[in-house]
Chain A
Amino acid sequence: KQEVTQIPAALSVPEGENLVLNCSFTDSAIYNLQWFRQDPGKGLTSLLLIQSSQREQTSGRLNASLDKSSGRSTLYIAASQPGDSATYLCAVIKAAGNKLTFGGGTRVLVKP
Chain B
Amino acid sequence: EPEVTQTPSHQVTQMGQEVILRCVPISNHLYFYWYRQILGQKVEFLVSFYNNEISEKSEIFDDQFSVERPDGSNFTLKIRSTKLEDSAMYFCASRGAGPKTGELFFGEGSRLTVL
- Segment of A13-21, A72-80, A88-96 in the binding face: A88-96
Considering only residues 39-78 of chain A, those with a C-beta below 8 Å from chain B are 41-46, 49, 51
Q: Say yes or no: B103 contacts A46, CB within 8 Å.
A: yes
- Segment of B40-48, B70-78, B80-88 in the binding face: B40-48
Give the CA-CA distance A93 to B35 in the complex, in Å. Answer: 14
Interface presence of B105 (CB below 8 A): yes
Give chain A's interface residues, CB within 8 Å of chain B: 31-32, 34, 36, 41-46, 49, 51, 89, 91, 93, 96-105
A51 CB contacts on chain B under 8 angstroms = 100, 102
Interface presence of B68 (CB below 8 A): no
Nearest Cβ in chain B — how far from A88, in angstroms?
Answer: 12
Please name the residue on chain A nearest to B4 by beta carbon.
A43
Q: Say yes or no: A31 contacts B104, CB within 8 Å.
A: no
Q: Say yes or no: B109 contacts A49, CB within 8 Å.
A: no
Q: Say yes or no: A96 contacts B91, CB within 8 Å.
A: no
- The B interface, classified by DSSP as helix, strand, loop or mixed, is strand
Interface size on B, residues (CB 8 A): 27
Give chain B's interface residues, CB within 8 Å of chain A: 31, 33, 35, 41-45, 48, 50, 55-56, 58, 89, 91, 93, 99-100, 102-109, 111
Q: Say yes or no: A98 contacts B48, CB within 8 Å.
A: yes
Please name the residue on chain A nearest to B41 by beta carbon.
A104
Q: Say yes or no: B107 contacts A89, CB within 8 Å.
A: no
Nearest Cβ in chain A — how far from B47, in angstroms?
Answer: 9
Q: Say yes or no: B43 contacts A99, CB within 8 Å.
A: no
3 A-B pairs closest in CB distance: A99-B45, A43-B108, A44-B106
The answer to whether A101 and B106 touch (CB under 8 A), given A43-B91, A96-B99, is no
Additional A-B contact list (17), CB under 8 Å, known A43-B106, A100-B45: A32-B102, A34-B103, A36-B106, A41-B89, A41-B111, A43-B108, A43-B109, A51-B100, A96-B99, A98-B56, A99-B45, A99-B56, A101-B45, A102-B43, A103-B42, A104-B42, A105-B42
